[in-house]
Amino acid sequence: MRTKRRILGQHFLNSPRLAERVARIAKIENQVVVEIGSGKGILTRQLAKRAKKVIAVEIDSWLANYLQELGLPRVHVLNRDFLKIDLCDWGNTVVVGNIPYNITSVILRKLAENKEYVERVVFTVQKEYAVRMMAPVGSSKYGYVSIYTNHHFDVRKEFNIQARYFSPRPKVNSVVITLIPRKTGYDVAYEAKLFEFIAGVFRYRRKSLKNAIMNYGQWLPMDLDDDRFGQRPQHLSLDDYREIYRMISRAS
């Protein structure tokens, strides 16, 4: 595989058996599937056997042409950056992909912001990132990613994949996860400010919440009396952050 693939951070699944397992878990019968980073089509082939239609999104022109020449039935190859496509073009979709670690958070945000068009997501991600996504409150891996992911999705671990089943071989193992979008019902603009606040606080996760907020640059009234301000950021739930952000906003 060319050096460019390393630049893009992609490692492609090389096991048809595991690709078939991913496709089966995705439950895509009679569904439109958007596959992110189709590569040489190992997973695409399995998706095409089950889905109503597969939109194979591949940013690399050489690989997109390769996929096109395969002539897989019910597969439409799209030589585009997934982050720049409109999911609303295909209605309710299932999104599947082996996601590069360096853009996992950006892709997750795009799906969260467009979840009315997404029925289900099945991703293969690096094990470390999966642990962060599913980390419980108070654990060492709990942070912004945990809060954001679980606010927008129900997250379920499916199975592990060893590094040897990818080309080029990565240094770490991966995990297949399923994400089911949640209906949050909150104001979008308010949520954006809230999560910006939470992200800022977690930059100082080793400090108390009070000091983290002040280091982040958020004005904090001195007369606010709440035991949670003495705790570290990883010990607070999303509900805690909602209450604290509301308290600060009202006092400012």
pLDDT at 250: 80
Domains and CATH numbers, the chain: 3-181 (3.40.50.150), 188-251 (1.10.8)
Mean pLDDT of 70-96: 95
Judge whether 89 is annotated as a binding position.
no
Phi-psi region of 149 (alpha: psi -120 to 50; beta: other; left: phi over 0): alpha
Residue 176 has pLDDT above 70, yes or no: yes
Mean pLDDT of 162-170: 95
Across the chain, mean pLDDT equals 92
Mean pLDDT of 127-153: 97
The tens digit of pLDDT for each residue in 185-241 reads 778 889 999 999 999 999 999 999 999 998 887 777 666 677 898 999 999 999 999
Task: Determine contact, residues 182/151, Cβ cutoff 8 Å.
Answer: yes
The tens digit of pLDDT for each residue in 5-54 reads 444 567 899 999 999 999 999 999 999 999 999 999 999 999 999 999 99
CB atoms within 10 A of CB 40: 17
Judge whether 37 is annotated as a binding position.
yes
Judge whether 98 is annotated as a binding position.
yes
Least Cα distance to 98 among 72, 120, 124, 59 occurs for 124
pLDDT at 224: 67
Res. 59 pLDDT band, cuts 50 70 90: very high
pLDDT at 252: 66
Q: Taking the CA of residue 211 as centre, how many other CA atoms within 13 Å lie in the half-sphere pointing to its CB?
A: 8
Res. 87 pLDDT band, cuts 50 70 90: very high
Mean pLDDT of 142-168: 97
Least Cα distance to 39 among 158, 159, 166 occurs for 166
Judge whether 81 is annotated as a binding position.
yes
